[in-house]
Structure 1
Amino acid sequence: MRPRYKRLVDNIFPQLPQDGLVKSNMEKLVFYSLSSPEKLDRIGEYLFQRASRDISRKRNGFVVIAMEAMDQLLVACHAQTLNLFVESFLRMIQKLLESTEPDLQVLATQSFVKFANIEEDTPSYHRRYDFFVSKFSSMCHSNHSNPEVRITIRTAGIRGLEGVIRKTVADDLVENIWEANHMDKILPSLLYNMQDSKYYKDETGSPEVEDKNDPALLADACIRELVSRASFGHVRSVLRPVLRHFDLHGLWVPNSFAVHTFRIIMCSIQSQYSYAVVESLMSHLDENSDSSPKIRTSITHVLSKIIAISAEESVGPSVLEVINSLLGHVRMSASKVSDTEEAQYREALIGCLGEFTAHLPDYQKVEIMVFIMSKIPQGNSRDDSRLQLMLLKSLLTVGKRYTNIAMNTTFPVSLLDPLLRLCLSGGIDTALMVQGILHVLLDRHSNAEKLSRPTLDVADAGLAFEPCSRSDTIFMRKFGEEIYTCLLEILSLNDVTVECIESIYTTLALIAVELLTAHTITAYLTMVYSIQEIALSQNNSLSFPRRYNLHAVVAALLVLVPEIMQIAPLKEYAGKLIGERRSAGAAHLLPELLVTYPGEVTPPAFQIPVNLLVDQAVLGECLQAAGLDTTVMTRSLTHRHSWVESTGVTMRGSVTDLNSTDVESANSTPGLPRKYPEEELSFEAMKRVLADSTEATKEEEKQKREQLFNAFRNTTFKDIVNNNTVRFQVVIFI
């Protein structure tokens, strides 16, 4: 009298559980289910009842047979009524997971994974997976006394979570797996299994042996799949529990596991969303601003390892947002008490900045350098000086990753002017840092190391250079005076050091190698001669060793110029001058630069014999002999821009022109009185001349308007037409 479906279900069970499922009867049950799909839900319910009874009676063999039958029915039937059967199936899974038998829990997990891989024809609106998320997560933390059983249960839990993710993440109608209550269970469970593995103790995170049943590898794969399915709105849902897990379990120091985890995330996430990961880490760094420097340093190192992946996808405001955030942390760190750990944190921030910019296009690197420059304070306080150096170091880090193609692109006014201004207004340390930035940006042929110190052996240095382009020549003619003025001002400072002088020599030498042409050599040699004037000037209080250092720099630059421009007369003159200094025993006027010199070379600098000094007239003759145009006089390097005056630095001497009295005799005779000695040459006189001319012009225009008005009033139309003069005036009037 029992229904047929019950008889078919009963027939699949053998008398002894060890005999296994009766396959012939199972085929009959499957055929009946396909023929009468409306009975499928009743079959599922009856199988659940039998399994529940067997579980309570500890007859696990029959439970396994019932579960196997459920699996076969699930795979074979795809009717619309499958949803009702699934409810019984999931109840069966839950019943097995609630048992204390590890074998039944593993069996239930395996069945759930099979179910997760099945695509259902119709969506389910009421199915929930809360229990499965909680249970599988708890299995991931199993601490069973038997190591093999513990690994088996953890592996089953991870596979179960993977099944839940696959079943729910692609169906918007089922439960939202991205909710915080689910993510807070899933991700810590996966990370817990990864962090205990012996495979992920190194920075690379590459396992030596791949074991498909290793919980760490399974958790790794599960996180990758979860992150790869995350949309932009769900990225932070994944990252929040990850960051919280690292905080609670102290996994930032050491940070090898953190680096590995975030590399997994960055490599798995959709590329257009990678910036969200960087943004979340930056926000987390903000939240840890009061944490120990070690933790902040470790978080920054993690950023450095992954930020390059995000840089390629960052465009527009997002780039400056990252840079601004990093600079903000540099500023905060600079305001704190400086110690070893805090210094390491700042270095990590600057390194992170460099890693981010290294993968950006060059035009964005220039924008970033300008942006960093705008953040540098102009004050002279101790805190401002420290922040200046840190931000300049950040700018230097960006500059090292920049490829200079054209000087006008590399040095926009918004970057060059503030750099020169800061070089003058800051201390020697700031000036040194600015020189380092100039070296990095100017050096296109890797000559900076060869020109790090003044030398007379430039011919053997193996310098690499190529002809200067027209755009670079225009740049130098436009901004050369500003650069030279700035460098001369630094050289005239009383506290200038040997290191600073050597750095300025490198800057000038790189300018010569990269930018020297027939159009710029006159201004360059004018500047070289001006260095000698500073060394000879009695208006400054430079020490004797510093004056000798400047003479040595002049000699080194004078030797360098003809090597680049191939000017034979100038090369001959430079060799002659060097020879005379050596013959006269004036080695202190030649490289290398020393901090102190022997006591016997301490005469006043201005008493150096004339034949040992660079002769301005001879320089002009050498250029003229080489066929270079020396009639165009270079402008004096005076206070051309208001920014020089704003620094509060007064010029100690202007740069005189190269052309000597002999060279310029064709145009003028020195020493003659002014042509109009009675003229008053002053600002007030010029102001009066301009005012008078303006009044005269206004009066003349007034008279012309009155004449034109009278002509129209007193003349007939015919006379106006016949009068060419009046007609021309009419046209002008119209």
Structure 2
Amino acid sequence: MLLRSLLMVTSGYKAKTIVTALPGSFLDPLLSPSLMEDYELRQLVLEVMHNLMDRHDNRAKLRGIRIIPDVADLKIKREKICRQDASFMKKNGQQLYRHIYLGCKEEDNVQKNYELLYTSLALMTIELANEEVVIDLIRLAIALQDSAIINEDSLPMFHRCGIMALVAAYLNFVSQMIAVPAFCQHVTKVIEIRTMEAPYFLPEHIFRDKCMLPKSLEKHDKNLYFLTNKIAESLGGSGYSVERLSAPYVPQVTDEDRLSRRKSIVDTVSIQVDILSNSIPSDDMSTRVYPPEL
């Protein structure tokens, strides 16, 4: 498979700026809706993104999806976000958020998909997040929680609980990364209540064999959910600009979506060839890369 070749090509690649690793000519086909059709293709796309985003070798520390008691123990390596990376997120952030949002809501997701989506959020926080991006990622997480509760997509209960667990794992991670005590306290309190009353909302339980699932989510106590007003209050008290938290995240619809999300396997292969032909410049690699023959 061509994406597997791309995964090998990008393994070990380190770019000084994210725009070098993910130029528009590469990012657009990589995040194409045509590559969203199969859960294994989605896994490969996320793994390629991780190869390119993880410039400080943190991915192994994030492996698996779990509630991390003390993120400081991971000894995450990071640097201050540079101007070029901040500019990249202003231009492409919505595209990345949208890919994660829609990827979380796919009905054929398995545990590995949720693990890779969680890692994507964590790596974006480490490598690309200034205060504005942190707010955007929290908005995205809350939107995912809301989508699991409302369930307009008629997802099975396992997938709804999987999304809830992913959100819990990510908010636990980001709250500790930005080290806002009141935010950490809110997240910790919700996780503690879930542990006692709704363990299927936590990754350690929902992804375990024979986890008991609830019959519905509509009647759950609000204390089991992460609340926007509580988060806004905690972040605002620490100097964050939280006005946008009150505006629910809504993914942008692309022209390709308006036409049709469904594409033939020929179109999908064509996109993968395009990705490879526009992939990492050969000057940055130890060997020159050619697209494999079909």
Give me the TM-score of the superposition, normalised by structure 1: 0.34
Q: Deviations over 1:373-425 (max 9, x none)?
A: xxxxxxxxxxxxxxxxx111111111114212101121111111111115654
| Distance (Å, rounded) in 2 between the aligned partners of 1:635 and 1:487 | 16
1:620/1:630 contact within 8 Å kept: yes
| Distance (Å, rounded) in 2 between the aligned partners of 1:421 and 1:647 | 12
Q: In structure 2, what is the equivalent of residue 610 of structure 1?
A: 222
Give 1:630 shift.
Answer: 2.0
Whether 1:479 and 2:92 are equivalent positions in the alignment is: yes
The one of 406, 411, 423 equivalent to 2:17 is 406
Q: 1:605 to 1:632 in 2, by over 3 A?
A: closer
Q: In structure 2, what is the equivalent of residue 428 of structure 1?
A: 39
| Distance (Å, rounded) in 2 between the aligned partners of 1:509 and 1:541 | 27
The one of 418, 440, 453 equivalent to 2:64 is 453
1:466/1:514 contact within 8 Å kept: yes
Q: Which amino acid aligns with 1:553?
A: L
Q: Which amino acid aligns with 2:119?
A: T
Q: 1:461 to 1:647 in 2, by over 3 A?
A: farther
Q: 1:416 to 1:637 in 2, by over 3 A?
A: farther
Q: Which amino acid aligns with 2:108?
A: D
Q: In structure 2, what is the equivalent of residue 620 of structure 1?
A: 232
| Distance (Å, rounded) in 1 between the aligned partners of 2:257 and 2:135 | 23
The one of 389, 394, 411 equivalent to 2:5 is 394
The one of 48, 52, 55 equivalent to 1:437 is 48
2:34/2:261 contact within 8 Å kept: no
Q: Deviations over 1:651-690 (max 9, x none)?
A: xxxxxxxxxxxxxxxxxxxxxxxxxxxxxxxxxxxxxxxx
| Distance (Å, rounded) in 1 between the aligned partners of 2:243 and 2:24 | 30
Q: In structure 1, what is the equivalent of residue 140 of structure 2?
A: 527
Give 1:647 shift.
Answer: 4.5
1:545/1:595 contact within 8 Å kept: no
Q: How does 1:148-163 map to 2 (within 5 A)?
A: none
Q: Which amino acid aligns with 1:463?
A: I
Give 1:511 shift.
Answer: 0.7
Whether 1:564 and 2:174 are equivalent positions in the alignment is: no
| Distance (Å, rounded) in 2 between the aligned partners of 1:437 and 1:431 | 10
Q: 1:536 to 1:405 in 2, by over 3 A?
A: same
2:33/2:257 contact within 8 Å kept: no
Q: Where does the alignment leave 5 or more consecutive residues of structure 1 unmatched?
A: 1-389, 650-734
| Distance (Å, rounded) in 2 between the aligned partners of 1:404 and 1:421 | 23
| Distance (Å, rounded) in 2 between the aligned partners of 1:444 and 1:564 | 17
Q: How does 1:590-669 map to 2 (within 5 A)?
A: 590-592=202-204, 593-594=206-207, 596-599=209-212, 601-632=213-244, 636-648=249-261
Q: How does 1:266-665 map to 2 (within 5 A)?
A: 390-422=1-33, 424-457=35-68, 458-584=71-197, 586-592=198-204, 593-594=206-207, 596-599=209-212, 601-632=213-244, 636-648=249-261
Give 1:573 shift.
Answer: 1.2
Q: 1:425 to 1:582 in 2, by over 3 A?
A: closer
1:531/1:554 contact within 8 Å kept: yes
- C-alpha RMSD over aligned residues: 2.1
Q: Deviations over 1:46-70 (max 9, x none)?
A: xxxxxxxxxxxxxxxxxxxxxxxxx
Give 1:538 shift.
Answer: 2.9
Q: Deviations over 1:517-536 (max 9, x none)?
A: 11211111000111112211
Aligned residues: 258
Same amino acid, percent of matched pairs: 27
SS of aligned partner of 1:605: coil
Q: Deviations over 1:692-731 (max 9, x none)?
A: xxxxxxxxxxxxxxxxxxxxxxxxxxxxxxxxxxxxxxxx
Q: 1:435 to 1:467 in 2, by over 3 A?
A: same
Q: Deviations over 1:129-170 (max 9, x none)?
A: xxxxxxxxxxxxxxxxxxxxxxxxxxxxxxxxxxxxxxxxxx
1:498/1:595 contact within 8 Å kept: no
Higher mean displacement: 542-551 or 625-634: 625-634
Q: 1:643 to 1:409 in 2, by over 3 A?
A: farther
| Distance (Å, rounded) in 2 between the aligned partners of 1:575 and 1:426 | 36
Q: Which amino acid aligns with 2:76?
A: L
Q: Deviations over 1:334-393 (max 9, x none)?
A: xxxxxxxxxxxxxxxxxxxxxxxxxxxxxxxxxxxxxxxxxxxxxxxxxxxxxxxx1111
Larger Rg: 1
Give 1:635 shift.
Answer: 8.1
SS of aligned partner of 1:639: coil
SS of aligned partner of 1:430: helix
1:498/1:546 contact within 8 Å kept: no
Q: Which amino acid aligns with 2:97?
A: Y
Q: 1:528 to 1:534 in 2, by over 3 A?
A: same
Q: In structure 2, what is the equivalent of residue 186 of structure 1?
A: none
| Distance (Å, rounded) in 2 between the aligned partners of 1:602 and 1:631 | 34
2:235/2:242 contact within 8 Å kept: yes
Q: Deviations over 1:71-113 (max 9, x none)?
A: xxxxxxxxxxxxxxxxxxxxxxxxxxxxxxxxxxxxxxxxxxx
| Distance (Å, rounded) in 2 between the aligned partners of 1:526 and 1:424 | 25
Q: 1:610 to 1:597 in 2, by over 3 A?
A: farther
Q: Which amino acid aligns with 1:551?
A: M
